[in-house]
Amino acid sequence: VYDKEPGRGTREVLDKYVYGDEKAPPPPDSDNFAIVGGNLETRNKLESTPGAVGPLSTGFVEGRNKLAV
Protein backbone atom coordinates (compact mmCIF):
# COMPACT_ATOMS: atom_id res chain seq x y z
CA VAL A 1 0.00 0.00 0.00
CA TYR A 2 1.31 3.41 -1.00
CA ASP A 3 -0.04 6.62 0.46
CA LYS A 4 0.68 10.24 -0.40
CA GLU A 5 2.51 12.62 1.85
CA PRO A 6 0.21 14.78 3.98
CA GLY A 7 -0.52 18.05 2.21
CA ARG A 8 -0.51 16.57 -1.30
CA GLY A 9 -3.62 17.56 -3.27
CA THR A 10 -4.65 14.00 -4.14
CA ARG A 11 -4.33 12.96 -0.50
CA GLU A 12 -6.27 15.98 0.77
CA VAL A 13 -9.15 15.32 -1.64
CA LEU A 14 -9.28 11.62 -0.75
CA ASP A 15 -9.14 12.31 3.00
CA LYS A 16 -11.99 14.82 2.71
CA TYR A 17 -14.05 12.32 0.69
CA VAL A 18 -13.42 9.39 3.07
CA TYR A 19 -13.28 11.10 6.47
CA GLY A 20 -15.31 14.28 5.94
CA ASP A 21 -14.50 16.75 8.70
CA GLU A 22 -12.81 14.09 10.85
CA LYS A 23 -9.03 13.79 11.01
CA ALA A 24 -7.51 10.94 8.97
CA PRO A 25 -5.95 8.17 11.10
CA PRO A 26 -2.17 7.93 11.40
CA PRO A 27 -0.34 5.62 8.99
CA PRO A 28 -0.12 1.96 10.02
CA ASP A 29 3.08 0.53 11.43
CA SER A 30 3.61 -2.06 8.69
CA ASP A 31 6.29 -3.24 6.29
CA ASN A 32 3.57 -3.29 3.60
CA PHE A 33 2.97 0.47 3.72
CA ALA A 34 5.02 3.36 2.34
CA ILE A 35 4.61 7.11 1.92
CA VAL A 36 5.29 8.47 -1.57
CA GLY A 37 5.47 12.00 -2.95
CA GLY A 38 4.06 13.24 -6.24
CA ASN A 39 1.96 11.54 -8.88
CA LEU A 40 4.92 10.52 -11.05
CA GLU A 41 6.62 8.74 -8.14
CA THR A 42 3.34 7.09 -7.15
CA ARG A 43 2.64 5.90 -10.69
CA ASN A 44 6.14 4.45 -11.02
CA LYS A 45 5.76 2.58 -7.71
CA LEU A 46 2.30 1.25 -8.64
CA GLU A 47 3.45 0.05 -12.05
CA SER A 48 6.57 -1.64 -10.70
CA THR A 49 5.05 -3.31 -7.62
CA PRO A 50 2.69 -6.24 -8.36
CA GLY A 51 -0.55 -5.96 -6.38
CA ALA A 52 0.18 -2.42 -5.18
CA VAL A 53 -2.59 0.07 -4.42
CA GLY A 54 -2.43 3.79 -3.84
CA PRO A 55 -4.11 7.11 -4.62
CA LEU A 56 -3.23 8.61 -7.99
CA SER A 57 -4.66 11.56 -9.92
CA THR A 58 -6.71 10.45 -12.92
CA GLY A 59 -4.48 12.31 -15.37
CA PHE A 60 -1.63 9.98 -14.42
CA VAL A 61 -3.75 6.85 -15.04
CA GLU A 62 -5.01 7.65 -18.55
CA GLY A 63 -3.42 5.43 -21.19
CA ARG A 64 -1.84 3.16 -18.58
CA ASN A 65 -3.52 -0.23 -18.95
CA LYS A 66 -1.75 -1.65 -15.88
CA LEU A 67 -3.49 0.89 -13.64
CA ALA A 68 -7.17 0.69 -12.70
CA VAL A 69 -9.39 3.55 -11.67
Under the banding of pLDDT at 50, 70 and 90, the label for residue 69 is: low
Mean pLDDT of 62-66: 85
Is the Cα torsion angle 36, 39, 43, 6 positive or negative in sign?
positive
Mean pLDDT of 4-32: 90
* Domain that residue 27 falls in: 2-60
Note whether residue 24 is domain-resident. yes
45 touches 2 (CB < 8 A): yes
pTM over 0.95: no
Report pLDDT for 53: 93
Q: At residue 43, does pLDDT exceed 90?
A: yes
Number of structural domains (the chain) is 1
Q: Which residues pair with 2 in a beta bridge?
A: 34
Mean pLDDT of 18-40: 92
Mean pLDDT of 37-47: 93
Note whether residue 67 is domain-resident. no
Note whether residue 32 is domain-resident. yes
